[in-house]
Amino acid sequence: MTRRQRDLWHKILSVLVTILLAAFGLFPLYWILLTSFKTPGTEFRPPVTYWPVVFSLEAYKTILGPDFQVQRAILNSLIVSSCTTVGTLCLASLAAYTIARLKFRYKWSSLLFIQIASMLPPIIVIAPTFLIIRWMGLLGKLPGLIIPNIVYNIPMSTWLVASYFAGLPFELEDAAKVDGSPPLKIFWQIMLPLTAPGLFSAGVIAFLGSWGEFMLAFTITMGLPQVQTVPVAILSYSVAFMQQWTWISAGIVLSLIPVIALVVIFQKWVVRGLTLGSAKY
Amino acid sequence: MPRILAQDITKQFRSVVALDHVSMEFEHGKLTVLVGPSGCGKTTLLRTVAGLEDPTSGDIYIGERRVNDVPPWHRNTAMVFQNYALYPHMSVFDNMAYPLKARGTPRKEIRERVEGTARSLGIAELLRRKPRELSGGQMQRVAVGRAIVRKPDVFLMDEPLSNLDAKLRVEMRAELKRLQKNLGVTTIYVTHDQAEAMTMADKLIVMRNGHILQAGTPEELYLRPNSVFVAGFIGSPSMNFSGCRYDPDRGLLVAPAFSYRIPEQLKAVASHSAGAPLVLGVRPEDVGVSTEPQPDAIGATVYMSEPLGRENLLTLEIGDSTFKVLAPPEILVTLDQRVWLTLNERRVHLFDDATEKSLTNTNGLP
Interface predicted TM-score (ipTM) over 0.90? no
Residues A78 and A42 in one domain: no
A21 lies in which domain range? 3-57
Domains and CATH numbers, chain B: 4-232 (3.40.50.300), 238-352 (2.40.50.140)
3-state secondary structure of A32: helix
Among residues A22, A39, A57, the one where a domain terminates is A57
Tell me the DSSP string of B128-168: TS-GGGS-HHHHHHHHHHHHHTT--SEEEEESTTTTS-HHH
Convert B55-69 to b/e letters by CB count within 10 Å (16 or more is b).
beebebbbbeeebee
Number of domains in chain A: 2
Nearest CA-CA distance, residue A176 and chain B, Å:
8
A176 contacts chain B (CB < 8 A): yes
Strand partners, A203: none
| pLDDT value, residue B301 | 93
Nearest to A190 among B79, B82, B87 (CB): B87
Tell me the DSSP string of B74-120: GS-EEEE-TT----TTS-HHHHHHHHHHHTT--HHHHHHHHHHHHHH
Residues A168 and A242 in one domain: yes
Query: Tell me: the pLDDT tens digits for B110-142?
Result: 999 999 999 988 899 999 999 989 998 899 999
Q: Maximum CA pair distance of chain A?
A: 75
A259 contacts chain B (CB < 8 A): no
Q: pLDDT confidence of A281, banded at 50, 70, 90?
A: very low
Among residues A19, A35, A57, the one where a domain terminates is A57
Residues A42 and A157 in one domain: no
Residues A11 and A74 in one domain: no
- Torsion A42-A43-A46-A49 (CA) sign: positive
The rounded distance, in Å, linking the Cα atoms of A168 and B353 is 47
Residues A108 and A19 in one domain: no
In Å, how far from its chain's centre is CA B77?
Answer: 22
pLDDT at B67 over 80: yes
- Give contacts of A277 with chain B, Cβ < 8 Å: 88-89
Query: Tell me: the pLDDT tens digits for B266-281?
Result: 888 888 888 889 999 9
The rounded distance, in Å, linking the Cα atoms of A60 and A248 is 10
| pLDDT value, residue A241 | 57
**What is the mean predicted confidence (pLDDT) over B282-287?**
94
Residues A20 and A52 in one domain: yes
Nearest CA-CA distance, residue B330 and chain A, Å:
49
Cis, bond preceding B152 (omega within 30 deg of 0): no
Residues A144 and A23 in one domain: no
> In terms of CA atoms, which chain A residue is nearest residue B155?
A178
Residues A66 and A52 in one domain: no
For residue A207, what is the domain's CATH number? 1.10.3720.10
Residues A52 and A73 in one domain: no
Query: Tell me: the pLDDT tens digits for A211-253?
Result: 888 888 888 888 788 888 888 888 877 765 566 788 888 888 8
Residues A19 and A85 in one domain: no
Residues A98 and A26 in one domain: no
Query: Tell me: the pLDDT tens digits for A116-174?
Result: 877 888 788 888 999 999 999 988 888 999 999 999 899 889 988 888 888 888 889 99
More confident residue, A57 or A19: A19
How many Å from the N-terminal Cα to the C-terminal Cα in chain A?
45
Residues A140 and A158 in one domain: yes
The rounded distance, in Å, linking the Cα atoms of A111 and A162 is 9
Query: Tell me: the pLDDT tens digits for B219-228?
Result: 999 999 999 9
Q: Edge-to-edge strand order for the sheet containing B259-261?
A: B259-261, B252-254, B240-247, B277-282, B349-352
